Amino acid sequence: MPSALDAENRPVMFIGMDVRPFEQAVTEDLQHNIVMITIVFLVGLAGIISLFWSRKVIRSHRLLQDTRAFAAETIASLPMGIIIVDKRRHIRYMNDTACSLLGINISAVTDKTADEVLPEEIWHLHKIADAHGKGLEKEIVVNSENSGPTPISMMVTNIFDQAGEFLGFLFILKDLSQIRALELKIRRKERLAALGTLASGIAHEVRNPLSSIKGYAGFFGSLFEAGSDNRKAAQLMVEEIDRVDRVISELLEFARPADLQLRPTPPELLIKNSLRIIRHEAQSAGIRVKEKIDVRLPELHLDPDRFSQVLLNLYINAIQSMKHGGDLTVDVSMKRDAVLFAVSDTGEGISPEDQPAVFNPYYTTKKKGTGLGLAIVHKIVEGHNGAIWLESAPGKGTTFFVSIPLKKQQRKVP
Ligand SMILES: Nc1ncnc2c1ncn2[C@@H]1O[C@H](COP(=O)(O)OP(=O)(O)O)[C@@H](O)[C@H]1O
Ligand SMILES: [Mg+2]
């Protein structure tokens, strides 16, 4: 008998199930997953992009800051003065060079208008710039407290934005003192060269007849009695001829183009030898001669003959300034990389107005002076790459300083 458990005869029951909701659920799940993945992907992508973006923004921000700082530093350290004035006439910017050229303290500029801060000769130029619209260049002299009268090249221009609207004025200042000093030096050299040619011509033509006149004056003088008026007149002639001869010699010396014969020379020896020459003259004028020589001085590379001439000219001027006796002091010391010679007297002194003129050729306050002594001194010192200056108090005395550098001394006297 067939059993219900028999595999072959087992009854089969078919149950019909609707799978659509299941499939729908699977599909929804899939869609949900896709949406989620897409959202996650998009969020991730947005995150990466914004990360990149923010990095880029930070980098460009930093770059902008660097560029701004660089531009500000560049403008601040330009060797030209920059002043920016806005259209309400307020000073918006002034770099260090402009401040020091005009002797203005930057803290005094804040919230001030240009006409309150800038010297009139500079500020009034904006009107001309207004009229022209374009840049305008002009040379002016400003009197700053720090450096006295200074020649300045001024450029004024109007500033406009991209839309063409007027924003303010830009002033550019350039210090011309070095250029002017150089021009002066070149002009002096040219004048000297012309003078040299002229002087040697005069010397040639004048000296020979002069020596004959001197000889005859001496001869005629000897024909008269000693102490007589005629004898005195003849002596005066001889003295005057000597003076003319001295002027010619000094002029030749001043204008002569010469090479320096540089040799290692101990400064001490220079002082001793040069003082020996004037000691007698000084003593008879009631002048005490004092010397202070630093024992550690190195040898200097200079032309001993021509440098002795520098010292002698300074001594002679010093002696001539002490009509009633006094002290002539020569002090030689080391000052950083130079040797400093100081020749001081206790004589009449030089007034501040006269001081700038003393090195000019033919400047003299003496009846029998040639005015060439200090011009020669100046030229020889310059030839040694040195510097000369003076300090003086009228009625108290004068000190001339000559500084000779230890290096780079070889140069031709122009
Ligand atoms: N030590 C000094 N003391 C006072 N005045 C001086 C001194 N040295 C130079 N000077 C002034 O400088 C002028 C020019 O000097 P210098 O060129 O040597 O020519 P000079 O001696 O022929 O006058 C002098 O006439 C004098 O007025
Ligand atoms: Mg002199």
* Chain segment 204-232, per-residue pLDDT in tens: 888 889 999 999 999 999 999 988 999 99
Q: Is the pLDDT of residue 346 over 90?
A: yes
Q: How far is CA 311 from CA 47, 214, 331, 350, in A?
A: 85, 30, 12, 19
- Does pLDDT of 414 surpass 70? no
Pocket test for ligand 1, best of 287, 354, 355, 364 (most atoms within 8 A of CB): 364
The environment of the single-atom ion ligand 2, i.e. residues with CB closer than 5 A, is 317, 373
Q: How far is the CA of 320 from the centre of ligand 2 (A)?
A: 8
User: Two tokens at 105?
Assistant: 């303290």
In angstroms, the CA 406 to CA 383 distance is: 14
Maximum mean pLDDT: which of 95-109, 135-149, 357-371: 357-371
Average pLDDT on 299-328 reads 94
The pLDDT of residue 14 is 77
> Where does 149-266 have alpha helices with state H?
177-222, 229-255
pLDDT-derived band at 2 (thresholds 50, 70, 90) equals low
pLDDT classification of 64: cutoffs 50, 70, 90: confident
* pLDDT score, position 412: 43
At residue 133, the pLDDT reads 59
Encoding tokens for residue 134? 């374009």
Alpha-carbon separation of residue 384 from 250, 265, 397, 403, 410 (angstroms): 19, 13, 27, 10, 7
Average pLDDT value over all residues in the chain: 87
| Mean pLDDT of all residues in 89-108 | 86
Is 345's C-beta closer than 6 angstroms to any atom of ligand 1?
yes
Higher-pLDDT residue of 149, 243: 243
- For residues 198 and 114, give the distance between their C-alpha atoms in angstroms, rounded to a whole number: 54
Question: Could you give the C-alpha distances from 114 to 89, 104, 351, in angstroms and in order?
Answer: 6, 12, 38
Tokens 């000190």 -> residue: 399
264-282: pLDDT as tens digits? 999 999 999 999 999 999 9
Best probe residue, ligand 1, of 249, 314, 374, 396 (max atoms within 8 Å of C-beta): 374
pLDDT, position 251 = 82
Q: Which residue's alpha carbon is nearest to atom 19 within ligand 1?
A: 371
Task: Inform me whether the pLDDT recorded for 258 exceeds 80.
Answer: no
Closest-lying ligand 1 atom to the alpha carbon of residue 313: 18
Q: Is residue 117 within 6 Å of ligand 1 at its C-beta?
A: no
User: Strands (DSSP E) along 45-201, which ranges?
Assistant: 81-86, 91-94, 136-144, 148-160, 166-175
Q: 């002048």: which residue's tokens?
A: 287
